[in-house]
Amino acid sequence: MSNCNKLGIGLAGFGTVGSGVWNTLEKNGELISDRTAKGVSLGITKILVRDLAKTRATTSAVPPEILTTDWRALVNDPAVDIVVELIGGTTDAFEIVVAALLAKKPVVTGNKALLAERGIELFAISRKMETPIFFEAAIAGGIPIVKTVQDSFIGNHIHSFTGIINGTSNYILEQMTLRGIDYATALQEAQELGYAEADPALDVNGWDAAHKAILLATLAYGFPIDPAKVHVSGIEQVRPTDIQFAKSLGYVIKLLAIVRERDGGAVELRVQPSFISQKHILASVHGVFNAVSVNADAAGESLFYGRGAGQGPTSSSVVADLVEAARDLAHTARHRGFLPYRETGTLVPIEETTTAYYVRFDVTDRPGVVAEIATVLANHRIGISGTHSPIDASNPDAEFVDMVFLLHSCPFGKLTAALAEIEALDCINSQPVVFRIENLG
């Protein structure tokens, strides 16, 4: 500790969240100090920025002498006791976190992509240096799910997480559902409102949610997970046709993250658009809100709901982690961030996961199409619970139409083998679109 009464914070990144951390410490600093540890206060002593001359919206003036464009100057500053990484990405951010850990300075980060993709390396350094990484802000914004799993559920075997953990996708799907607009229109509106980035890829392709799900699984089951082994699909192929069909059957479409422990200890982890019952509590998660349902053996099922992003919720989580880091430095008596407690674990191959399915085919409108598709499915012993061909009233003479099949539960590997054969039929014009029908109880 640089001073027995004050802990210095090095803030790497001063965008929306970074300035929110500054504002929170300025506004509630006395309260935070009272709740941290007797005689210990927190203060930002160095800030990494890209442009020293940029005007920044903060509740109080930032002393220009604490600003720097050199991350090494921040990490190596003897007045910095805790490093907060908020620059994003997986390159410079990785170097900053490594340097901080090697200097035995605790790290607070909201960088889910960094921890999901390079966490194996970072957690190894964290363990070696006995220096913690805190990352509450990396999962579901202001929802305190990390501390809940680490502390409140410490005596539980966690059976599963089921979550809506990307607000942008949830907003887009909800607007498509409520107003009947298409994906492109809903995405554009989300960008105009600031809910989606100019490049929304990680939000809509499922990987933002997947990074968070990987961290949840690592927390619950104790081993680092390789993102390359995780099955992820996004919402880009959802059409109004799919949403209307789901609604007619009593479902809504949500981008779900599923983390589930199977018999023998293997972990099922996947992210995809899914049909869920309109009666399930996750169906009522609206707008950019997030929700995570946790099923544990002793505690039973719990639901955590709140804003998954934004300056206030995310900076709140960062400050909470700062307090944990400060308590650890002051007393060395609390949990030391997160360290995986198992070296290895097993992910269930996606081919072995089982649900019912909704499959949409783009077909040539001619006699016998249904029979051709059904024959292939029957050969693979996949049951059909229903078929439907939505009518496009605007173009009743269309040569190509959508054909929907509802399929009984089967392993995903069996389905993909059947779809590979079906796609080769001359009546099929594009790759089939698959959504899972989840039975969430």
Strand partners, 386: 406
Query: Beta strands 133-134 and 158-164: pairing type?
Result: unpaired
> Using alpha carbons only, how large is the chain's radius of gyration in Å?
24
Strand partners, 305: 291
In angstroms, the Cα distances linking 373 to 347, 368, 381, 389, 421 are 32, 9, 13, 13, 9
Q: Which of 212, 247, 254, 414 is catalytic?
A: 212
Structure tokens at 139: 């999962």
In angstroms, the Cα distances linking 406 to 279, 369, 383, 387, 435 are 20, 16, 9, 6, 10
DSSP state of 232: E
CB-count exposure of residue 193 (10 Å: 0-12, 13-18, 19+) = exposed
Strand partners, 405: 359, 387
What type of residue sits at position 103? A
| Pairwise CA distance, residues 107 & 100, whole Å | 7
Of 246, 258, 183, 253, nearest in space to 220 by CA? 258
- Residue 212 catalytic? yes
| Pairwise CA distance, residues 99 & 151, whole Å | 28
Q: Which residues participate in catalysis according to the annotation?
A: 212
